[in-house]
Amino acid sequence: MVDYSKWKDIEISDDEDDTHPNIDTPSLFRWRHQARIERMEEREREKREHERKKQETLKKLQETMKRVAELESSKSDTTDLNTLKKALLDLEKEEERIKKEEEELKKKEKLTPWNVDTIAQPGFTKTVINTKPARTDDDADLPDEEKEKKMKQFIKENEKKLKEYGMLRRYDDSKKFLQENTNLVCENTANYLVIWCINLEMEEKHDLMEHVAHQCICMQYILELSKQLDVDPRACVGSFFSRIQIAEVEYRKSFDDELRLFKERIRKRAAEKIAEAMKEVEEEERKARLGPGGLDPVEVFESLPRPLQKCFEVQDIPLLQETIAAMPEEEARYYMKRCIDSGLWVPDANKPKEGDEASEETTVETPDANKSKENDEASDKATTGTPDPE
């Protein structure tokens, strides 16, 4: 059954013809119409003011909640925390009050009679827009190896143009360039620009990195707009650059925040790659200096007792022999074997390679208590090897 109750109260000046003969009826209708328009404008101002207060309160509420969470997690000054909690409580009360006001406004608007300015509203509207090509992602199902192969081929064919786009500065120039080179509007371009940014940061070309990063974020925004609209990214080039050039404050702030975070990620990744490269170089150097027994001479030297370290530092063979003689036999054998395996001590370094090499036992042999035997062995050892300090 149709509900006709909404038609009961309609405020239309033109059907009020029971006016006094001395009153100019058209003028009266105009005055009433003007008064009604002013009332409608006042209600619109109230709605706008209410919406403004609502947005401001929500923003303050979110900021205060975030700040309270930060202070609670960091266990900061309780005085500031208590103040913020009190402010948060006040904002929550304000939010409730605004919700009640909003309900009152809706109720008031519902009870307002229709009039000649509001009774005729369009039942439906139709907008016709140009059909844009649908978005496709042909590489989504490809294996990683195939994707990498395609990207390398793409870079090989377009690297000069990719660098040209990365060096552009004006939005109009970037827009024109991409519209003339639509094949560059793709994920591979964004990936190339990310890699280029990392390399520039590693080369300490910080200003150039920040410029290329801006171009990279522009490309990523175009690709993101393509996903949101589900259209081919090439159809979003003009839309993005038109929007960014006349950007609202919030949109521009979002773009700048994303750019700042991207540059921070680039700096972090560049630092990680430099650390990884240095670690690889150090490992290569360590492997290159390994001794015949596979030990690192630097590590072995640092593990030696200080008296033995001093012997290798000054390259004093008699002092080395005296130090070895003063050590327990097992300990002396252990350290001298490590010195040989690392290349710090080279047995028979001054002898021809013909014949049998001296055994490890003779190299690390510790003299006994007989003084003359110590001197003889010291003399023999002095001619069989030289210390090789790191």
pLDDT tens digit sequence for 182-222 = 999 999 999 999 999 999 999 999 999 999 999 999 999 99
Spell out the long-range contacts of 307-315 with Cβ–Cβ below 8 A and sequence spacing 24 or more.
Answer: 308/335, 311/387, 312/344, 312/387, 312/389, 312/390, 313/389, 315/386, 315/387, 315/389
**The one-letter amino acid at 156:** K
pLDDT at 296: 82
Which is more confidently placed, 249 or 12?
249
What mean pLDDT do residues 292-308 have?
84
Which is more confidently placed, 141 or 10?
141
Residue 107 CA to residue 87 CA, distance in Å, equals: 30
What mean pLDDT do residues 297-323 have?
85
Q: What is the mean pLDDT of the chain?
A: 76
Which is more confidently placed, 371 or 98?
98
Residue 145: its H or E element: helix 144-167
Residue 82 has pLDDT above 70, yes or no: yes
What are the pLDDT digits (tens) for 234-286?
989 988 888 888 877 888 888 999 999 999 999 999 999 999 988 888 888 77
Residue 364 CA to residue 320 CA, distance in Å, equals: 11
Residue 359 CA to residue 242 CA, distance in Å, equals: 83
Instruction: Give the range among 42-51, 136-145, 303-312, 370-379 with minimum mean pLDDT.
Output: 370-379
Confidence of residue 176 (pLDDT cuts 50, 70, 90): very high
- Nearest Cα to Cα of residue 253 among 47, 26, 59, 5: 59
Residue 379 has pLDDT above 50, yes or no: no
**The one-letter amino acid at 363:** T
Distance of CA 314 to the CA centre of its chain: 52
pLDDT at 366: 31
> Are 101 and 109 contacting, i.e. CB atoms less than 8 angstroms apart?
no
Residue 238 CA to residue 179 CA, distance in Å, equals: 8
**The one-letter amino acid at 135:** R
- Compute CA distances 336 → 154, 258, 320, 333, 364, whole Å: 59, 60, 10, 5, 6
Residue 4 has pLDDT above 80, yes or no: no
- Nearest Cα to Cα of residue 200 among 221, 216, 183, 177: 216
Residue 350 has pLDDT above 70, yes or no: no
Token pair of 66 as six digits: 């975030």
Beta-ladder partners of 387 = 345
Q: Taking the CA atoms of 213, 219, 225 and 226 in sequence, report the sign of the dihedral they define.
A: negative
Residue 382 has pLDDT above 80, yes or no: no
pLDDT at 114: 58
pLDDT at 378: 38
pLDDT at 244: 87
What are the pLDDT digits (tens) for 21-56?
555 566 666 667 777 777 778 888 888 888 888 888
The residues near 263 (Cβ < 8 Å, ≥ 6 apart) are: 209, 210, 213
